[in-house]
């Protein structure tokens, strides 16, 4: 079956142009034109590879998301460093799997969540079951399972659903 092309990926085109200019560290007209030609060609090619396009309804919410992720990365880096250096006192660190029921269905939102969770030291994404209803994570310092469920659902899932749905 011949795949049907999706609508034109505007965001991808813009990102590719910006990437080209950053790589060449210039804003010269010539490079801008080459970048636009390349971006349009590549975006045209990927339309057939991936017909499913994300629908981003509130793109400005990526800004608070970015700062939230940065804060969490710094905090969990400190947390994992304490565990490795044995600075957690007498407490025995227990790690394990956490199952989190998800309301989010958008594959792009799930991909972003997977990236966030795995980029944060102390949590690794294991997978979602069929239909994407339940997410499995591995957590290094598992004290309270419901705390992790709350953390993912209230902190990230709600925001990602507002961005993507």
Partner 1 sequence: MNHVDLPLWVTIPGTLLLVFGGLLVLIGSAGLVKLEHFYARMHPPTMGTTLGTGCVLITSMLVSSALEQRPVIHEILITVFVVMSAPVSAMLLMRAAVYREHRKRPEPTQPLDDIGGTIPPRD
Q: Which of residues 121-140 bind partner 1 (CB under 8 A)?
A: 121-127, 129, 134, 136, 138, 140
**Minimum gap (Å) between residue 119 Cβ and partner 1:** 6
- Return the DSSP state at 83: H
Q: Which stretch binds partner 1 (CB under 8 A): 2-10, 29-37, 90-98, 156-164?
A: 90-98
Nearest to 43 by CA among 33, 57, 53: 53
CB of 160 to partner 1, least distance (A): 15
Query: Should residue 84 be labelled a site residue for partner 1 when binding is judged by CB under 8 A?
Result: yes
Contacts 24+ apart (CB under 8 A), 25-32: none
Question: Is residue 73 close enough to count as binding partner 1 by CB under 8 A?
Answer: yes
Beta carbon of residue 4, minimum distance to partner 1 (angstroms, whole number): 27
CB closer to partner 1 out of 138 and 155:
138
H/E run at residue 97: strand 96-101
Phi/psi region, residue 114 (left: phi>0; alpha: psi -120 to 50; beta: rest), is alpha
* Contact status: 49 vs partner 1 (CB under 8 A): no
Asked whether position 38 contacts partner 1 by CB under 8 A, the answer is no
Residues whose CB is less than 8 angstroms from the CB of residue 157 and which lie 6 or more positions away in sequence, other chains included:
102, 103, 104, 113
Q: Does 25 interact with partner 1 (rule: CB under 8 A)?
A: yes
């Amino acid at each position: 079956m011949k795949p049907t092309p999706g609508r034109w990926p505007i965001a991808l085109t813009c990102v590719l142009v910006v990437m080209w200019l950053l790589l060449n560290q210039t804003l010269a007209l010539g490079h801008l034109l080459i970048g636009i030609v390349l971006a349009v060609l590549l975006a045209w090619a990927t339309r057939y590879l991936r017909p499913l396009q994300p629908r981003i309804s509130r793109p400005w919410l990526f800004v608070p998301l970015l700062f939230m992720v940065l804060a969490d990365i710094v905090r969990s880096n400190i947390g994992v460093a304490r565990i490795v250096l044995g600075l957690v006192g007498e407490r025995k660190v227990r790690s394990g799997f956490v199952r989190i029921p998800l309301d989010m269905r958008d594959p792009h939102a799930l991909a972003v969540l997977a990236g966030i969770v795995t980029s944060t030291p102390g949590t690794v994404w294991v997978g979602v079951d069929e239909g994407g209803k339940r997410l499995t994570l591995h957590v290094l310092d598992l004290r309270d399972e419901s705390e992790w469920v709350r953390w993912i659902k209230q902190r990230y899932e709600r925001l990602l659903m507002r961005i993507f749905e």
